[in-house]
Amino acid sequence: MNDALDVALRLVIVFAAFLVLPLVVGQTEHKVMAHMQGRLGPMHAGGFHGWAQLVADGVKFAQKEDVVPAAADRRVFQLAPAIALLPYLLVLIAIPIGPGEGAVGEVVDAGVFFVLAVMGVGVLGSLMAGWASANKFSLLGGLRTAAQLLAYELPMLLAAASVAMAAGTVSLPGIVDAFEWWWLPWQIVGALVFFVAGLAELQRPPFDMPVADSEIIFGAYTEYTGLRFALFLLAEYAGIVVLCGLTTVLFLGGWHGPWGADGLGWVWTLLKTAVLAFVVIWLRVSYPRLREDQLQKLAWTLLIPLALAQIALTGIVKVAIN
């Protein structure tokens, strides 16, 4: 196949996944939360169990007026949603869903570093929004976002480093290729640390202190309306997809499964990602919000030591089996 056409096709597929998967997660969240709380959730839009609710929401957001506060820093304020959303699109390009070169947008040599670096950039969007809104609540939200990122970036990176050590490569397809079933118990601590730190980086409950609605309205996004606000929400759900996909690829063996024919590996990847996304929603419904000092304490006194212990364990086992 023609090279340019190949690249274009891959990008179109990744872009389609980027547009569809976050909406699927969002709709699942509506329904799962509702049923866990003894409600039905959206039932009308689209007919069957309200499947088109998020489409309707999107239309609603697009019709709203785009307001920029008079005292705000106009350009930074308007740029922030794009900075928050685009990194997740870039990360999605590097996540492999099946074996071989055909099932990944682009093979990145230093894949683990690429995805973590680019995901870190996304938080700049929240910081810019928090500062540029000229609103005390937004500024507080931005501050909390920054503090949270600084605390949780390190354990996330250390946990990913552990699995990269185990595989002997930092390329994402390479890591899944090297996966064996006994990595699951071996890397379980790293997996938990990575997932929890990722949740905190996405500011999902129970780590949603930066957008705590009972204290600071909606944190950095307080002043946003219409489409720009929708972009921030979309960034959150794209973040869930990316985090669950990454946890699947790094720790749960991606396309490896106990049974299933060749060529169906991508089903395993999507299935594991979906189960993790369900866990993310479940946690939102079941845990209360952590206080700021509890947040910091969890990261610095629990997750970082655990991640370091996991790295030590990985090193010892790696040397022992060689």
Partner 1 sequence: MSPAAATAATAAATAESHGFLSPTGVEIAFLLVGLVTLGAAVITVTTRQLVHAALWLVVALGGLAVEYLLLTAEFIAWVQVLIYVGSVVVLLLFGLMLTKAPIGRSPDADSRNRPVALAVALLAAAALVWVVVDAFRTTVIDLDGAAQGSTDVTGSILFRHWVLPFEALSVLLLAALIGAIVLSRKKAAEDTTASPATDPHEDAPTPEGDR
Q: Which residues bind partner 1 (CB under 8 A)?
A: 71-73, 76, 108-110, 113-114, 116-118, 120-121, 123-124, 127-128, 130-132, 134, 139, 142-143, 146-147, 149-150, 153, 157, 169-171, 293
Q: ω into residue 206 within 30 of 0, thus cis?
A: yes
CB of 110 to partner 1, least distance (A): 5
CB of 237 to partner 1, least distance (A): 21
- 């949780």: which residue's tokens? 152
- Give the number of other Cβ atoms within 10 Å of residue 103's Cβ: 18
Could you give the CA distance from residue 268 to residue 259 in angstroms, rounded to a whole number? 10
Backbone angles phi, psi at 161, to 5 degrees: -60, -35
Q: Rank residues 54 and 163 by Cβ distance to partner 1 and give the closer one.
A: 163
For every residue of 10-50, which 3-state class applies, written as one string?
HHHHHHHHHHHHHHHHHHHHHHHHHHHCCCCCCCCCCCHHH
Determine the 3-state secondary structure of 208 from DSSP.
coil
CA distances from 99 to 110, 165, 262, 284 (A): 18, 21, 9, 33
CB of 43 to partner 1, least distance (A): 42
CB of 172 to partner 1, least distance (A): 12
Q: Rank residues 110 and 192 by Cβ distance to partner 1 and give the closer one.
A: 110
Do residues 133 and 223 make contact, with C-beta atoms less than 8 angstroms apart?
Answer: yes
CB of 185 to partner 1, least distance (A): 27
CA distances from 53 to 31, 49, 63, 64, 221 (A): 11, 9, 16, 17, 22
CB of 142 to partner 1, least distance (A): 6
Q: Rank residues 98 and 125 by Cβ distance to partner 1 and give the closer one.
A: 125
Q: Rank residues 91 and 97 by Cβ distance to partner 1 and give the closer one.
A: 91
Q: Rank residues 118 and 159 by Cβ distance to partner 1 and give the closer one.
A: 118
Could you give the CA distance from residue 310 to residue 308 in angstroms, rounded to a whole number? 5
Q: Rank residues 129 and 276 by Cβ distance to partner 1 and give the closer one.
A: 129
CB of 127 to partner 1, least distance (A): 5
Q: Rank residues 129 and 280 by Cβ distance to partner 1 and give the closer one.
A: 129
**Angle between the 188-202 and 136-167 helix axes, to the nearest 10 degrees?**
160
- 């390329």: which residue's tokens? 171
